[in-house]
Structure 1
Amino acid sequence: MSAAEPTVAQTSTEAPALRLTDVSKSFGVVNALTKVSLEIRPREVVGLIGENGAGKSSLLKILSGNQTADSGTMELRGRPVTFSSISQAMSNGVAMVYQEQSLLPNVSVAENILLGNERGAVRDGFYRWKQMHRTAQRHLDEVKSGVSPSDITDTLPFAQRQMVEVAKALATGDGSPYDPVILLDEPTSVLESGDIETLFSVIRRVKEHASIVFVSHRLEEVLEICDRVYVMRDGEVVAEVDPAEADVDQLFRLMVGRDLTSGYFREDLSTEPTPDVRLAIESLTGPGFSDVSLGINRGEIVSILGVQDSGRENLGRVLFGALPAAHGSVRIDGERVGLRSTRDAVARGIGYLPSERKIDGAIMGMSVADNMTLAHPDVVSTLGVMRSRRVREVADEWIRRLAIKTSGPAAEMVNLSGGNQQKVVLAKWMLAPDLRVLILDTPTRGLDVGAKSEVYAILHGLAAKGVSIILLADSLEEGIYVSHRVITMADGKVTGEFTSRPGNRPSRTSLIERML
């Protein structure tokens, strides 16, 4: 192994909490997992990374009892096991914290934490509320949550619900002499930086009496929080890595099978914007923000960074006509425009990619072709009549241009990976005859590094053609390295502006100071 390669972590002599040996899983002719072997040791955080489709989800489903393997063995604390259901896995102390939360919204925190694991908190079919609240409070204290066991779950912010999920996973170990195994599936994907640090503190504390599997597309986080990392590609484990001796570029190469010579932010594709102001915002005020003034040049990428409730999300929605502005003005290419609806925005050449692509950005039950052309029917119609052949031709062209992995234009969106879904949503705006401004709300959230790199390449390509881009970045690094300029917001106000060029990038500290 060369010096540039990460080394394999040293093997511990302590018996593993969970071990898989030659586990395989197929769906028809598709091999989801092929002879996967790994182990999770007591009191450690094991990272699991790979591109979308690498097999991570299938592996988690087998570990959590959601699916069974076709072949291979699983040992829990040295004992052969096969979980035929999620409840069976939980009863053995293996619990999963899902990326899309599994809590029941209209019941209390205590009921959620102990759901299916009530034990002494139920007598003769009735809850013993005092006992339930005491038990739930103990687990909430373990994760340092200030939430009350009696709180109704859907009244809590997302970050607090995430902590309740972790407390629920810890409850699976109740009554067992063994420490639990907790599976964290993208636990930070929609958390702000402060909430991520809180979660990491919880993970470090919890691992003192638990084993944790941490799945994330954010490689910096994996290197920070994990003791060992397994890398998956095409349904196989291709490497076991010591985070202390690896970096993001090395993990990327192991995941995708090629070097990341230009950095996955694709700085090599960045071009200089023109001096012409394309979008001019003056004293704009709307829900959650006030007195925002900002100019964006043609071909310029401007990132806006801010914590939750900073106002940046609503600023993007107002500029797309999805929320009303109280006062202020918006000009495009010098012309003042009224954005009373999303239809007005589209007519003015403004596109918008929402943070929840599966809910607001696409229609999962419709085809790739229909999702691409829905916002711009004039592109595929004649005299107001939609031409099916033209729809297919346009979709085929953009599938080819963006290298979208799909069986064809007729494929349903729901069957595409997250990265390919995002490409379809981007194509919807790229085929617009006069796209001038594109607003993107965390466009790479939940995408693997390979898909992120492809999205960044698309954004740089749009900017090179003169499109002005507002990027509500998913991370500080994304905001710093993808943009020409970075704007910070806090409490609904613009608090800072930073030039961001190679050799002159703002520091994380300087940005965080203006965001808080």
Structure 2
Amino acid sequence: MLSLKNVTKRFPGVLALDDVSIEVRPNEIVGLIGENGAGKSTMMKLLTGAYRQDTGEIELGGKPLVIRNPRDATSKGIAMVYQEQSILPNLTVAENLFLGREEDFVTFGRMNWAKLKRAAKKELATVHLDVDPLTLCEDLSFGQRQMVELARALSLASRTGGTPIILLDEPTSVLEAGEIDILFGLVRELKSRASFVFVSHRLDELLSLSDRVYVMKDGKVVSEMSSGNASVTKLHELMVGRSLHSEYYRENLQKPCRAEVALSVRHASLGQVLNDVSFDVHCGEVFGVAGVVGSGREELCRIIAGLEKLDAGEVMVGTTRLKPQANHAVALGIGYVPRERKVEGLVTQMSVAQNLTLPRLSAVSRGGVVRKASERALANEWIQRLHIKTPGPDASCRNLSGGNQQKVVLAKWRFAGSRILVLDHPTRGLDVGAKEEVYQLIRELTAEGVAVVLTGDTLEEILGLSHRVMVMRDGHAEKVLPCEVGHKPSQVEIVEHMV
């Protein structure tokens, strides 16, 4: 039905998909697994028209298929339920279901609400969701909004008259157990009229729902098997079957951390995202946080950075309780390197010098006016110390490579004198050489006594860099494992606690 044949996709410094071939047959559920960075998201974006492959072919029904954009994908029977919900909360259920297709319900220049409501009820019935179509989506539970997403995807993909193909990207990451059961029951029922590609890190769920499973690693499909012939143990080994290279992560520079506690998190709870999480981070320690998407690790990083407010519990820096304010976190010596450096880590239209000095403008200003000479001098110092490749301190950050942009983000917190750094996927999108430079910087920081909270793109990275690793699952701290040099836990051991 749908197939990718020898598909390759490159980005600067990254081979995202390497000669990938997969097949989705009519009325089946195909599971797709792999670590972060394995190529799953790139494949989904190819199928929805967000990217175009460099080489290889996509075929539908044995004929070559060109997907120009997401609207074009749905017109050809392919739709996606995204991990990050795309529902507009201030619109009704009916309006969300037919967003972009409002002209179908306009009569004499006016919206025919009765017709829209009838059509919405029909679509909602396919997913057994009994809500008023004119209810605002912000008044629905997360699970109900997920059903609206699924109903919309089915509606869009079914317009071709053929068998729709629905892509499910981590659909259970923030659902409760009862909601997951409902979703899985529905997908099994809908299998008679649609095909599904199910992307998940939860191996037990994936095996219970899928007919066949593809395993991806480093941009390649490394295995394809029926779910009946697979096991959680076998999938573990295929997912994480890489050897660690100690020198790559500068493990030779990993020194014992100090006894002094830099940061304490006590009984942290936030909705259904975090549940009674407690831990300490010592000066000079890399404290790794591992977990699948939806485990709570990203939210934990934002809480420590002062960007989220806890429902219960506290974050302590020394004897001071952290307020849920980013400026208070900075004042307490906490620096935050976000996963989306271009969105939250940098002001890309500003210069390297301006970004470097932003957290501590008092050092380069007098009477509220920035002294450009001082700004440039300090920027040049950090450009040299961190080997940032840039034409000069006045160059725009938007023109730097990803690795050099990340160095600017790290440099600004070193300049600010941060003693605690929260690193959320610090090497995301970086090539191998840039990653090694970031790892070297992390080792230098800890040698100076800086405490680091790290969540990374791969288990290999977290294990290679960390002194200890806390494994999270569904908002709980499942286990804290020591990671001494020469005695690192295996990736399989970590995955067992994650899933």
- Coarse TM-score class (shorter-chain normalised): 0.5 to 0.7
Of the structure 1 ranges 28-37 and 347-356, higher mean CA displacement relative to structure 2 is found in 28-37
For residues 377-401 of structure 1, give each alpha carbon's deviation from its aligned partner in whole angstroms, at most 9, with x where no partner exists.
577889944443652552464366x
Deviation at 1:76, TM superposition (A): 1.6
8 Å CA contact 2:170–2:198 kept in 1: the answer is yes
Q: Distance between the aligned counterparts of 1:34 and 1:487, measured in 2?
A: 30
- The offset of 1:202, in angstroms, is 6.4
Instruction: Indicate the residue corresponding to 1:113 in structure 2.
Output: 97
| Residues 1:500 and 2:481 are matched in the alignment | yes
Q: Deviations over 1:412-431 (max 9, x none)?
A: 459866x98666544432x2
Number of the residue aligned with 2:415 = 432
Residue 75 (structure 2) pairs with residue 91 (structure 1): yes
Residue in structure 1 matched with residue 336 of structure 2 by the alignment = 352
2:47 aligned with 1:47, yes or no?
no
In 2, the alpha carbon distance for the partners of 1:31 and 1:511 equals: 27
1:98-247 map, 5 Å: 98-116=82-100, 126-127=112-113, 128-141=115-128, 149-156=133-140, 161-174=145-158, 177-185=161-169, 191=174, 201=184, 205=188, 206-207=190-191, 209-214=193-198, 227-229=212-214, 231=216, 239=222, 241-242=224-225, 244=230, 247=235
State the Cα distance separating 1:131 from its structure 2 match.
1.8
Secondary structure in structure 1 of the residue aligned to 2:79: strand
- 2:31 touches 2:206 (CA, 8 Å); kept in 1? no
Shift of 1:501: 2.2
Distance 1:83-1:414 versus aligned 2 partners, 3 A rule = same
Distance 1:88 1:260, change over 3 A: same
Correspondence for 1:297? 282
Match of 1:75 in 2: 59
Equivalent AA in structure 2 for residue 500 of structure 1? L
Give the C-alpha shift of residue 49 in structure 1: 5.8
Classify 1:136/1:291 alpha carbon distance in 2 versus 1 (closer, same or farther; 3 Å): closer
1:51-101: CA deviation from partner (whole Å, max 9, x where unpaired):
7696964x5455334566687654322344434453343133111334554
Distance 1:329 1:155, change over 3 A: closer
1:363: which partner in 2?
A: 347
Tell me, in whole angstroms, the C-alpha distance in 1 between the residues paired with 2:183 and 2:441: 32
Q: Look up the match of 1:7.
A: none
Give the whole-Å Cα distance in 2 for the aligned partners of 1:397 and 1:199: 55
- DSSP 3-state at the match of 2:120: helix
Q: CA contact under 8 A between 1:438 and 1:469: conserved in structure 2?
A: yes
Counting only pairs closer than 5 Å after superposition, residues 1-80 of structure 1 correspond to structure 2 as: 17-21=1-5, 37-42=21-26, 43-47=28-32, 57=42, 60-66=44-50, 73-80=57-64
In terms of mean alpha carbon deviation, does 448-457 or 37-46 score higher?
A: 448-457
Secondary structure at the counterpart of residue 45 of structure 1: strand
CA–CA distance in 1 between the matches of 2:469 and 2:14?
Answer: 44
Compare 406-415 and 362-371 and name the one that shifted more: 406-415
* Structure 2: 5+ residue stretches without partners: none
Contact map agreement 2:284 2:445 (CA 8 A) in 1: yes
Q: Report the number of matched residues.
A: 471
Percent identity among equivalent residues? 32
Report deviation, 1:375: 1.9
Contact between 2:75 and 2:156, CA under 8 Å: does it hold in 1?
Answer: yes
Partner of 2:257: 273
Deviation at 1:232, TM superposition (A): 7.6
Structure 2 contact 290–459 (Cα < 8 Å) conserved: yes
- In angstroms, what is the RMSD of aligned CA positions? 6.2
Question: In the TM superposition, what is the alpha-carbon distance from 1:362 to its structure 2 partner?
Answer: 3.3
2:425 alignment counterpart: 444
Distance 1:51-1:391 versus aligned 2 partners, 3 A rule: farther
Q: Report deviation, 1:198.
A: 5.9
Task: Quote the Cα distance in structure 1 between the aligned partners of 2:494 and 2:277.
Answer: 23
